[in-house]
Each structure stands twice: as structure tokens, then as C-alpha cells.
Structure 1
Amino acid sequence: MPDVSQAQVFLSLGSNIDREHNICSGLEALERAFSPLSISPVYESEAVGFDGDAFYNLVVGLKTTLSVGELAACLKEIEK
């Protein structure tokens, strides 16, 4: 049986539009796809380079056997 190794991946998440809902929804979707997750504290930061509402930002760690392309596709679908 081939050895299937997992890659450790860290994602930077942020939202300034309906931020609590979007961050919570994103974390729930990531949890369904990649449980368990390592989740940093949430930080609030001002928008930089444009006028806009403050962001919620955090980092999520996960392990996956997906290829880079498969992971990117999965994350884009979650982002939608």
C-alpha cells in the first residue's frame, strides 16, 4: 500500500463584509472538509490602501492529502 503523506497547510482568512458571518461560515466549511483545524485568535485590523470597514483576520492550520490544484479548487469553492 503506498504511503500517503499529509501536507501541513496554513491559510490566512480575512473579511470586512459581514465579517462575523463570513468568517464563521468559512470555518464551518473548512472544518467539514479538513477536520481537525488549528485556529489562531481573531484580530481586527483597519483596511489599508482603500476606504472600507475594518477586517477580521486569522490563520487556520490544516492537514491534507489533496494536491495543490485540488486544494486550490476546494478553497475557491468554499470562498464562493
Structure 2
Amino acid sequence: MARVTVEDCLDKINNRFALVILVSKRAKQLLKGVTPTVLAKNNKYVVTALREVASGHVNLDIDSSMGTAEQQVESDLNR
């Protein structure tokens, strides 16, 4: 895969917004030193995270205890 795009990842994660959140969280993990699951030659962390999603190594795990988006935003605002 010479060039990875968001469209490549939408086959794995149907929701574009969930994909952005997933990739940003994974990129932060990579920044903190987590070992990438795909070969990463001088790629930026976001590109590596997109490659991991496109290859199926990183998936979105929806936890039923998370609640609705409104509840999440409200709890974040109250911190």
C-alpha cells in the first residue's frame, strides 16, 4: 500500500468520525512509544495509525458502558 487514505480505512470503520477519533488515539499511543503493528519507515504517527486501521490490526471496540455521546460530552465538561 503505497499511499493510505481515509477511504481505504472506511472499509474497516464505517463511521468517518469514529475513524478520526480512533486514528488520533492510536497516533497518541504511537507518540508515547507503543510499538506499531505495521512496518513504519519514517512515517508520521497519523500515517502509521491509518496504515494499522487499513490493514485491520487496529479496530474500534465499542464499549456498551460508554453511554451516549451527549453523556460523554457532559461528563468531559464537568471535569
Q: Normalising by the residue count of structure 2, what TM-score does the alignment of the two structures yield?
A: 0.30
The higher-RCO structure (CA 8 Å, 6+ apart) is: 1
Q: Normalising by the residue count of structure 1, what TM-score does the alignment of the two structures yield?
A: 0.30
